[in-house]
Chains A and B, each alone.
Chain A
Amino acid sequence: MRGMGIVRMMEHDFRNFFRYKWWLVGLISMNLADLFIMAIVYNNMLDKTISAEIGGYFKFFAPGLAVTGLFASAFMIGREINMERRREVHHYMLSLPMTRFELAMGRVLSGGLRGMFYMSPLLATCFIFLGLPSFGQLLLILLVLFFLATGISGLSIAIAVSTSSLEKFITARGLVYYTLFFCSSVFYPLSLIQELGATGRFPSFLVTLAEINPLSSASDMIRSFLLPYPTFSWTMVINVVIFSVVFTFCAVFAYMKIIERH
């Protein structure tokens, strides 16, 4: 049946995901330590003006943390694909009775779904402390996060198939990770980055990157439904959708073309 290959690939990748259960437990511990230690301490040393604007660092950071967890877990698929390529497991993958498109799309989607699965306890923690959104808002949050996770999975796969060694993949991952996280509103409000940019203390291209960054858009969209800051805008949703479509396409194309060449 057409499309079953995608489901089979997703099942395969989900099985692999649970092989890393210890690693995932460690990652969740770190995420929770960030929230229950770091965010609580930062809450007490926050600038008063900023505190009044965002309503406390703990509440501000909780949605950002869900996005952080989503990113880390959705990006894991790239490491697996890079390893498969190095160990030449991709020859076996290519021999499976499914089309190249099903193989590639299945991997991008499973990376995204794994991200959603891992992120769900972090999002639930966020709802416990910040309150529940309306049903419509919850659906929009889940949809946008799924698009974001798929885009991250796509980005990770595109990097994985374009890099020949684990070291190169890890270097590229570090570069992407730090740029996307620190140039976003995950840890601090976007208005602060814009203010620094306006006074010339922060390069304007990095301010623009922070504004269009899908991690900023997703974090701020959750905040807009649960906190008084910032105001919801459809641009947040559009940013994430564009990011997702672009990187899903790139990943599928790169996976289909590059993997056959080796």
Chain B
Amino acid sequence: MSQIALFGLIASRLVSVPNYFQYYVSGLSVMTLYSAAVFIGFDIYEEAEHGVFEYLLSLPVTRRQLVLGRSIGGGLRAFIYVGPLIGVSLYVIGAINPLNFLVALFSLFLFAFGVSGLSITIAVMIKSSDRFDILMGILDALIVRLSTAMYPLAIVQASNPVYGWLTNFNPVTFVADLFRWGTGIDSAYFLLDNPLLPLLGVVAFFSFFTFLGVIIYERRIEGGGWQ
């Protein structure tokens, strides 16, 4: 909230992008959602450290159900955490088209589940909390900054074509653009001609990491080796 009230307000006077405050507030919701959904991976290490893993493995559920439940649970709790921020975004941005907003909300859900799946996949693949910490730090640094969460795509492309190319295929870009489209932010800098493309991108991201997560989780969950 202080990031909106302080950084958002001052940064909107710093740049020449019209309606930047609204743009930033909506992007901040997506950035926070990403950070909150990643946390499920840290929980997995804590469970491994405290021996809760063995208890989870002894439960009468399949490995598949376990990872799907964790992925959806991680996504949902991230969504609950970011709920007030989304509320503030809606208050700041104002009018919305209900149908577009529902599509945007659906994409946010899928994104949160996908990020949880990504976090679980990486956590069980590397089984080292130190390596996980650094990898997620670097991933966070790149995935958020090389997206349209903080700045419009046209400006990223003008700054550096490589950054622009990477930003174009980033799931954070897909979901940030969809959220802005859903909330009806109006500016020449963030027109979204076809919301279907980013929506497909978010669905692909969700499917890939949820199902990859299931496969890897099933294979790597047993046998210890947690550091």
The binding surface of chain A is classed by DSSP as helix
A196 partner, pick from B3, B9, B137, beta carbons under 8 A: B9
| Chain B residues whose C-beta falls within 8 Å of the C-beta of A45 in the assembled complex | 15-17, 151-152, 155
- Closest A residue to B128 by CB, please name it: A22
Q: Does A50 contact B (CB under 8 A)?
A: yes
Contact status of A46 and B15, CB under 8 A, knowing A26-B137, A41-B155, A183-B6: yes
Pick the residue among B131, B150, B159 that contacts A43 (CB under 8 A): B159
Query: Contact at B133–A23, with CB atoms within 8 Å?
Result: yes
Interface string of B3-15 (1 = CB under 8 A from A): 1001101110111
Q: How many A-B residue pairs have CB under 8 A?
A: 98
Residues facing A in B126-168 (CB within 8 A) are 130-131, 133-138, 140-142, 145-146, 150-152, 155-156, 158-160, 163
Whether B14 pairs with A192 at a CB distance below 8 angstroms is: yes
**Contact status B2-A179, CB under 8 Å:** yes
The range of chain B's interface size is 20 to 34
Q: Are A30 and B9 in contact (CB under 8 A)?
A: no
A33–B145 CB distance below 8 A: yes
The answer on a CB contact under 8 Å between B14 and A50 is yes
Residue of B11, B14, B138, B158 with most partner-chain A CB within 10 A: B14
Interface residue total, chain A, C-beta cutoff 8 A = 35
Given contacts A33-B141, A48-B16, A188-B11, contact A22 B6 (CB under 8 A): no
B15 partner, pick from A26, A32, A47, beta carbons under 8 A: A47
Contact A22 B146 (CB under 8 A): no
Q: List 30 A-B contacts (CB under 8 A).
A: A25-B137, A26-B134, A26-B136, A26-B137, A26-B141, A27-B137, A29-B134, A29-B137, A29-B141, A32-B141, A33-B141, A33-B145, A37-B142, A37-B163, A40-B160, A41-B150, A42-B14, A42-B151, A45-B17, A46-B14, A46-B16, A47-B13, A178-B2, A182-B10, A183-B6, A187-B11, A188-B10, A192-B13, A196-B9, A202-B10
| 17 extra A-B contacts, CB within 8 A, seeds A22-B131, A182-B3 | A22-B133, A22-B134, A25-B134, A29-B137, A30-B140, A40-B163, A42-B15, A44-B155, A44-B158, A46-B16, A47-B13, A178-B6, A187-B10, A188-B10, A188-B11, A192-B14, A193-B10
CB within 8 Å of B: which residues of A?
22-23, 25-27, 29-30, 32-34, 37-38, 40-48, 50, 178-179, 182-183, 187-188, 192-193, 195-196, 201-202, 206
